[in-house]
């Protein structure tokens, strides 16, 4: 996204603080347009603006609906505090403070990994003010998700929220964010889904794909809270913000990403991500021509890590030495028969794999179509 930077909690990757980007949550609209104004040709040849009649005005959201959904869902949303908070409790990136929401009948709350990362004490604060000790059950740093658990007998019958099918989310639909911005527990903000299928780096610098974009005011403390649809279902976990001056965009990890790993997190299974060991570039006609390729779509290998699975499988890179495609590299076209044309496509396929899995890459090499069998390794700690 040209002109925007993305914040990652990894120290070496932190952006300039003067153009700060906070790893927090999303969703608020400064002004909601409740009517539609269009340009028309006025009698006498003049041009002007004519307001549509009241019967034709478009309502962005129903206040009663938002209030009803708030009352229904807010008891399941909690404030999270950790012992790692700095002296300034409203820290850059929301470290030491965040939000979460109940996802099971066993006292398990979903939140962001960066909210609880490195914490030696985690406190969950219910809407009635009750404070409960929590422990991390499982985490997936690559998708910035964590599952924490409290004593379920202390929850007073609070019901878990439902995770929706985020593949059905469409731009323009209602988006409601709940959480604790600046420590203000029980806050709600309303906006719309601005886009889907976005990606940005996680704390491990692996890209989180399929993210939901929403218009947002930027506040620390909402990280890990739910982004709801008009049914009160969770479509995303509020996670990150891209900011430039007074303009900002909010992003949420899609609920389907959480659903796919929730059972493993609850079982305490460590989420391990597979590694191929390549640097990649998405092809277009200009890049393909520069590299002398016979195909102009696909994912081009421009570098390979020595000793990596890609190196052991004899995949071949092509680079001009400046990070641009040069002649001789392989073009990845499919993974296990599933066509891929972007790096995000490749990540989606790899997210369903485990270290040690054997995969088949369909590639184009010097105009020849080949299938290469590769055994994936575990994502190295040195890259986290």
User: What is the structure's pLDDT at 272?
Assistant: 85
- CB-CB neighbours of 282 under 10 Å: 16
User: What is the structure's pLDDT at 53?
Assistant: 55
User: What is the structure's pLDDT at 352?
Assistant: 84
Q: Is the alpha carbon torsion for 361, 363, 368, 374 positive or negative?
A: negative
In angstroms, what CA-CA distances link 18 with 5, 92, 243? Answer: 12, 12, 11
* Structural fold of domain 274-383: Pdz3 Domain (2.30.42)
Given the residues 223, 248, 308, 319, the one annotated as active site: 223
Burial of residue 265 (number of CB atoms within 10 Å: 0-12, 13-18, 19+): buried
Q: Is the alpha carbon torsion for 376, 378, 381, 384 positive or negative?
A: positive
Burial of residue 114 (number of CB atoms within 10 Å: 0-12, 13-18, 19+): buried
- Give CA torsion, residues 325, 326, 330, 331, to 10 deg: 40
User: What is the structure's pLDDT at 28?
Assistant: 35
Given the residues 141, 142, 144, 166, the one annotated as active site: 144
User: What is the structure's pLDDT at 221?
Assistant: 83
In the residue annotation, 114 being an active-site residue is answered as yes
User: What is the structure's pLDDT at 42?
Assistant: 37
Given the residues 114, 139, 166, 194, the one annotated as active site: 114
Judge if pTM exceeds 0.85.
no
302-361 pLDDT, tens digit each: 999 999 999 999 999 988 667 677 788 999 999 999 999 999 999 989 988 989 999 999
Tokens representing 194 are 């601005």
148-182 pLDDT, tens digit each: 999 999 998 899 999 999 999 999 999 999 999 88
Q: Residue 203: what are its φ and ψ, rounded to 5°?
A: -65, -20
Could you state, in order of their start, the residue ranges of all structural domains in the chain?
A: 1-31+58-271, 274-383
Tokens representing 292 are 């002398």
Q: What is the pLDDT along the chain (384 residues), one digit of tens a residue?
A: 333 333 433 222 233 333 333 333 333 333 332 233 333 333 444 444 445 455 544 555 688 999 999 999 999 999 999 985 444 433 334 447 899 999 999 999 999 999 999 899 999 999 999 999 999 999 998 899 999 999 999 998 899 999 999 999 999 999 999 999 888 898 998 899 999 999 888 776 778 899 999 885 557 788 999 999 999 999 999 987 776 776 777 899 999 999 999 999 999 987 888 999 999 999 888 888 888 888 888 899 999 999 999 999 999 998 866 767 778 899 999 999 999 999 999 998 998 898 999 999 999 998 899 999 999 999 887 765
Q: Top-level CATH class of 1-31+58-271?
A: mainly beta
* SS3 call for 47: strand
In the residue annotation, 384 being an active-site residue is answered as no
In the residue annotation, 345 being an active-site residue is answered as no
């Amino acid at each position: 996204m040209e002109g925007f930077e993305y914040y990652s909690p990894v120290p070496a990757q932190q952006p300039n603080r003067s153009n700060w980007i906070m790893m927090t949550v999303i969703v608020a609209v400064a002004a909601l347009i409740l009517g539609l104004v269009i340009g028309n040709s006025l009698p006498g040849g003049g041009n002007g603006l004519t307001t549509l009649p009241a019967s034709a005005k478009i309502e962005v959201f129903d206040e009663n609906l938002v209030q009803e959904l708030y009352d229904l869902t807010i008891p399941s949303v909690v404030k999270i505090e950790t012992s790692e908070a700095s002296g300034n409790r409203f820290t850059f990136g929301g470290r030491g403070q965040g939000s979460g929401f109940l996802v099971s009948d066993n006292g398990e709350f979903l939140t962001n990994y960066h909210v609880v990362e490195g914490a030696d004490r985690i406190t969950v604060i219910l809407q009635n003010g009750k404070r409960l000790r929590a422990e991390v059950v499982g985490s997936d740093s690559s998708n910035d998700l964590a599952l924490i658990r409290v004593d379920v007998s202390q929850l007073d019958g609070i019901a878990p929220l439902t995770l929706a099918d985020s593949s059905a989310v469409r731009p323009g639909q209602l988006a409601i964010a709940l959480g604790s911005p600046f420590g203000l527990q029980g806050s709600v903000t309303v906006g719309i889904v601005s886009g889907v299928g976005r990606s940005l780096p996680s704390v491990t610098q692996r890209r989180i794909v399929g993210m939901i974009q929403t218009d947002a005011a930027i506040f620390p403390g909402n990280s890990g809270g739910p982004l709801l649809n008009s049914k009160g279902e969770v479509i995303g976990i509020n996670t990150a913000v891209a900011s430039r001056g007074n303009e900002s965009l909010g992003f949420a990890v899609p609920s389907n990403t959480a659903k796919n790993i929730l059972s493993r997190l609850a079982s305490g299974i460590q989420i391990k991500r597979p590694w191929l060991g390549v640097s990649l570039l998405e092809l277009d006609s200009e890049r393909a021509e520069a590299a002398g390729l016979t195909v102009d779509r696909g994912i081009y290998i421009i570098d390979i890590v020595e000793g990596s699975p890609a190196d052991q499988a004899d995949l071949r890179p092509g680079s001009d030495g400046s990070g641009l495609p040069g002649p001789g590299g392989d073009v990845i076209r499919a993974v296990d028969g599933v066509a891929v044309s972007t790096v995000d496509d490749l990540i989606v396929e790899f997210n369903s794999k485990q270290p040690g899995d054997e995969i088949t890459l369909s590639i184009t090499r010097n105009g020849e179509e080949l299938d290469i069998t590769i055994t994936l390794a575990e994502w190295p700690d040195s890259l986290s």
